[in-house]
């Protein structure tokens, strides 16, 4: 049994009448490079559903709205999650499904918690227009206060005091 595992043979066919050690070395290097490149490329991050399914890992999915896709993509990249987005147009309002590997469930949970926290913080924070309106009101109040505080002096005393 052990001899079967360790005793593997490789056949290399080279066209030529004479083989030098340099030619044999080049042929072996070419073979080894081909063996390295033979494996399928493993995609990372956002990818197609076919590529994700081809990685032979169980898939799970969750639903997300179209407004949140860009923000979720950034968070998923941070957590190194392999995922695929699929648009479901069968309903009136299109839905987006995020497919990910089942073994990435913990990472996807952490990513969604951070994503939800960012989303909630963004909703609680006032918009720029609201902040601008408040700043305008404050500036108007300050200007009004300055005019009240400042009294004009019409008569100036120009006498010299010793």
| Residue boundaries of the structural domains of the chain | 49-124
- Other C-beta atoms closer than 10 Å to the C-beta of 52 total 19
Hey, is 38 helix, strand or coil? helix
Query: What are the start-end ranges of the E strands in 3-91?
Result: 59-64, 83-88
What pairs with residue 96 in β-bridges?
64, 87
Going residue by residue through the chain (162 aa), what tens digit of pLDDT does each one get? Answer: 555 555 566 666 766 667 778 888 888 888 888 777 766 566 677 888 788 777 777 888 878 776 777 777 787 788 888 888 888 888 788 788 888 887 777 887 888 788 888 878 877 888 889 999 999 999 998 888 777 666 565 666 677 776
Q: How far apart are CA 65 and CA 97, in angstroms?
A: 9
For domain 49-124, the CATH architecture is 2-Layer Sandwich (3.30)
Closest among 31, 132, 28, 115 to 77, alpha carbons compared: 115
| This prediction's pTM | 0.46
Q: How far apart are CA 98 and CA 34, in angstroms?
A: 35
């Amino acid at each position: 049994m052990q001899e079967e595992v360790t005793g593997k043979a490789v056949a290399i066919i080279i066209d030529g009448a004479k083989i030098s050690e340099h030619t044999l070395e080049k042929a072996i290097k070419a073979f080894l490079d081909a063996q390295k490149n033979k494996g399928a490329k493993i995609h990372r991050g956002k990818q197609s559903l076919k590529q994700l399914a081809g990685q032979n890992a169980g898939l799970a999915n969750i639903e997300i709205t179209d407004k949140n896709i860009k923000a979720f993509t950034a968070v998923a990249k941070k957590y190194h999650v392999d995922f695929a987005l699929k648009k479901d147009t069968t309903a009136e309002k299109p839905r987006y499904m995020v497919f990910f590997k089942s073994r990435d469930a913990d990472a996807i949970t952490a990513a969604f918690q951070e994503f939800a926290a960012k989303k909630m913080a963004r909703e609680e924070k006032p918009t720029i227009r609201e902040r601008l309106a408040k700043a305008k009101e404050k500036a108007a109040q300050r200007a009004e206060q300055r005019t009240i505080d400042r009294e004009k002096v019409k008569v100036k005393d120009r006498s010299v005091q010793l």
